[in-house]
Amino acid sequence: MHIDTRAILAPRTSEFGAVVPPVHLSSTFELDIDTIDGDYAYQRGSNPSRGDLESVIANLEEAKHGFAFATGMAAVSSVFSLLSPGDEVLFSSNVYGGTFRYVEKIFPRAGLTGTFFDDLGSITSADLSEKTRMIFVETPGNPTLRVVDIERLAKLAHEHGALLVIDNTFMTAVLQRPLDMGADLVVQSATKFLGGHSDLLAGAVTTNDDDLAENIRLSQKVFGGVLEPFTSIRLLQAIKTLPLRITRQQENAEKLVAHLREHPGIATVLSAGSFSEHEREIHERQAAGIGAVFSFELAEGYELKTFLHALEIPSFAVSLGGVESLMSIPATMSHDGMTQAARERAGITDTLVRFSVGIENINDLLADFDQAFDAAKNS
Ligand SMILES: *Cc1c(COP(=O)(O)O)cnc(C)c1O
């Protein structure tokens, strides 16, 4: 079935035939006195509501296993829990700020090494050693939208006995399916497009590998960063409109990007695949569109603060992927966990604006930008 349909077909665990799955709040479950056995025992291990969501998360990607976490960072941490002291992980330098913070603050204590590449897409065998246990990639990357070839990196990783992990937050299974291209694990901040309404925090991990799945399940039990039942069902409901939302958001983004590229008030627009002809070709091969996030810098002669104040529709806030448009300045907001040097290497200037497009009417968005350009132009 098409993903539009798979997103709707939620499990129906209610004994009353409810069309929407119920919220099972119980933290503990009755066990058989003789066998000390039951389908569920304690909520941290598993819960029917989280289980319903996890089956939807897996089903979206047609993956064998899906896991729901309390936040995207809890999902990322569960993946890093697969590592052992001495292991090295390769990253692109424009990785999510929170992931960067993890590598900078926690990796040294755990005896792990994170190595950053400005152009992860062009690494070769020589960049991997016997210590390299994982390649961790966001494509398109945040907030510069650089693209890497998933299939190529999967081959490279596997030749060296390493795992390829893709943070697919910006694309979701609607636009990109990394497991089909050889990735071992996919992580997502479900706070963003999956949730889609800026009203919950959640994370997701998917895999087709039984051993990896067993270890991710273990990390749920050991670290306890699982998603609670009420939010599980709210997220499950939100996912039903994911294909509709992201399609409309992407249409809006395409039109806005095209408009801005022609506008004299803009110096640069960064969108998925825009970095080079090579990256455009890769992105078109492995994804079904640019998504709904792009970044831009104003041209000289336009005042950034005035511009941001003048825009009426978008909120000035971190996060992305919701039905409402959001704008932010990564250097001082989402990516302030990175060092200045790391930001410079990744091309995250202090005046780069990241824009996440919502489902508002496109003509209203275009008109809003145009009046903000007029307001911000130095006379
Ligand atoms: C937001 C985000 C995360 C972290 O997710 P939280 O839900 O905020 O913990 C990880 N990766 C990417 C790409 C993100 O945008």
Residue nearest to atom 4 of ligand 1 (CA): 72
Give domain 243-376's CATH number out of 3.90.1150.10, 3.40.50.280, 1.10.8.60, 1.10.3720.10: 3.90.1150.10
How many Å apart are CA 274 and CA 282, to the nearest integer? 11
pTM score: 0.96
Is 155 in contact with 133 (CB distance < 8 Å)? no
Is 205 in contact with 178 (CB distance < 8 Å)? no
C-beta 96 within 6 A of ligand 1 = yes
Q: How far is the CA of 113 from the centre of ligand 1 (A)?
A: 21
How many Å apart are CA 296 and CA 258, to the nearest integer? 12
pLDDT value for 337: 76
Q: What is the mean pLDDT of residues 152-159?
A: 98
pLDDT value for 93: 87
**Domain 3-239 shares a fold with domain 243-376:** no
Q: What is the mean pLDDT of residues 313-339?
A: 93
pLDDT value for 163: 98
C-beta 191 within 6 A of ligand 1 = yes
pLDDT value for 287: 98
Please name which of 290, 212, 301 lies closest in space to residue 251, comparing C-alpha atoms: 290
C-beta 98 within 6 A of ligand 1 = yes
In sequence order, the 6+-apart residues with CB closer than 8 A to the CB of 180 are none
Q: How far is the CA of 375 from the centre of ligand 1 (A)?
A: 33
Each residue's pLDDT tens digit, 40-74: 999 999 999 999 999 999 999 999 999 999 999 99
101's tokens: 């913070």
C-beta 189 within 6 A of ligand 1 = yes
C-beta 73 within 6 A of ligand 1 = yes
The best mutation among 101, 176, 192, 328 to test binding of ligand 1, ranked by most ligand atoms within 8 Å of the C-beta, falls on: 192
C-beta 203 within 6 A of ligand 1 = yes
Please tell me whether residue 331 adopts helix, strand or coil conformation.
helix
User: Is 80 exceeded by the pLDDT of residue 15?
Assistant: no
Instruction: List residues with catalytic annotation.
Output: 44, 96, 167, 192
Q: How far is the CA of 3 from the centre of ligand 1 (A)?
A: 23
User: Is 90 exceeded by the pLDDT of residue 83?
Assistant: yes
C-beta 225 within 6 A of ligand 1 = no
Q: What is the mean pLDDT of residues 129-147?
A: 96
C-beta 138 within 6 A of ligand 1 = yes
**What's the fold here for domain 3-239?**
Aspartate Aminotransferase; domain 2 (3.40.640)
C-beta 195 within 6 A of ligand 1 = no
C-beta 356 within 6 A of ligand 1 = no
Please name which of 375, 379, 378, 252 lies closest in space to residue 308, comparing C-alpha atoms: 375
Q: How far is the CA of 96 from the centre of ligand 1 (A)?
A: 7
How many Å apart are CA 366 and CA 372, to the nearest integer? 10
Q: What is the mean pLDDT of residues 263-280?
A: 97
**Across the chain, what does the average pLDDT equal?**
96
Please name which of 106, 125, 330, 99 lies closest in space to residue 116, comparing C-alpha atoms: 99
pLDDT confidence band for 344 (50 / 70 / 90) = confident
pLDDT value for 210: 98
Each residue's pLDDT tens digit, 180-219: 999 999 999 999 999 999 999 999 999 999 999 999 999 9
Each residue's pLDDT tens digit, 284-312: 999 999 999 999 999 999 999 999 999 99
User: Is 90 exceeded by the pLDDT of residue 345?
Assistant: no
C-beta 43 within 6 A of ligand 1 = no
Which atom of ligand 1 sits closest to the CA of residue 73? 9
pLDDT value for 241: 98
The best mutation among 169, 319, 326, 355 to test binding of ligand 1, ranked by most ligand atoms within 8 Å of the C-beta, falls on: 169
Which atom of ligand 1 sits closest to the CA of residue 95? 13
CA angle 11, 213, 211 (to 5 degrees): 140
User: Is 90 exceeded by the pLDDT of residue 11?
Assistant: no
Q: How far is the CA of 189 from the centre of ligand 1 (A)?
A: 4
Q: How far is the CA of 284 from the centre of ligand 1 (A)?
A: 24
pLDDT confidence band for 153 (50 / 70 / 90) = very high
Strand order of the β-sheet with 88-92 is 65-69, 203-207, 185-189, 163-167, 132-138, 88-92, 113-117
List the chain domain ranges.
3-239, 243-376
pLDDT value for 343: 87
In this structure, which long-range contacts are made by residues 243-247, counting pairs with CB atoms below 8 Å and at least 24 apart in sequence?
243/3, 243/4, 243/7, 243/174, 244/4, 245/193, 245/196, 245/323, 245/359, 246/172, 246/174, 246/175, 246/193, 246/291, 246/292, 247/174
User: Is 80 exceeded by the pLDDT of residue 238?
Assistant: yes
Which atom of ligand 1 sits closest to the CA of residue 170? 13
The best mutation among 67, 73, 95 to test binding of ligand 1, ranked by most ligand atoms within 8 Å of the C-beta, falls on: 73
- 3-state SS of 238-261 is HHCCHHHHHHHHHHHHHHHHHHHH
